[in-house]
Amino acid sequence: MRGMVWALASVLLVSVAQLLLRYAMISLPPVSLSWEFVSVLLQPQKGTLALIAGLFGYLASMGCWYFALHRLPLSKAYALLSVSYILVWVAAIWLPGWHEPFSLRGGLGVLLIVAGVLVIFLPGRSGK
């Protein structure tokens, strides 16, 4: 059970980190404008703080993932990572100001992910 908590914490952290990094990349100037990009990084702004928080979120997620792998079989832990795709997709649609469109193709992809995770996590029948 503790392995599942660590894995779900990792999924939540990586999902939030992805959203923060997207926000940061929209808010910050392009990296190709290197001097401008570096000067913005040295000043605390919304985009800069989102970038730092997103990177720390990834780091914290890897720590949770480390503990999850010690307590869960890899097949189950790895399947849970796909849940972050669902969380990020739904958040990008529902969060105000993001304006990501809903697509039937994306919805079908989410259903496939859910079906795959259920196949892995539902108890199997033994042939006996």
* Arithmetic mean of pLDDT over the chain: 88
- The total of structural domains in the chain comes to 1
Q: Look at residue 128 and tell me if it is in a domain.
A: no
∠ Cα 86 107 88 (to 5°): 25
pLDDT given at position 65: 93
Summarised one tens digit per residue, pLDDT across range 14-64 is 999 999 999 998 888 887 777 887 888 788 788 899 999 999 999 999 999
Task: Give the domain extent around 89.
Answer: 1-121
Q: Look at residue 126 and tell me if it is in a domain.
A: no
C-alpha of 18 from chain center: 5
Alpha helices per DSSP H over 28-103: 34-41, 46-71, 74-81, 83-94
Whole-number Å distance between alpha carbons of 93 and 109: 15
Summarised one tens digit per residue, pLDDT across range 51-106 is 999 999 999 999 999 999 999 888 888 888 888 989 999 999 998 888 888 999 98
Three-state secondary structure call for residue 31: coil
C-alpha of 21 from chain center: 10
Q: Look at residue 30 and tell me if it is in a domain.
A: yes
Q: Look at residue 67 and tell me if it is in a domain.
A: yes
Question: Is pLDDT larger for residue 127 or for residue 14?
Answer: 14
Q: Look at residue 49 and tell me if it is in a domain.
A: yes
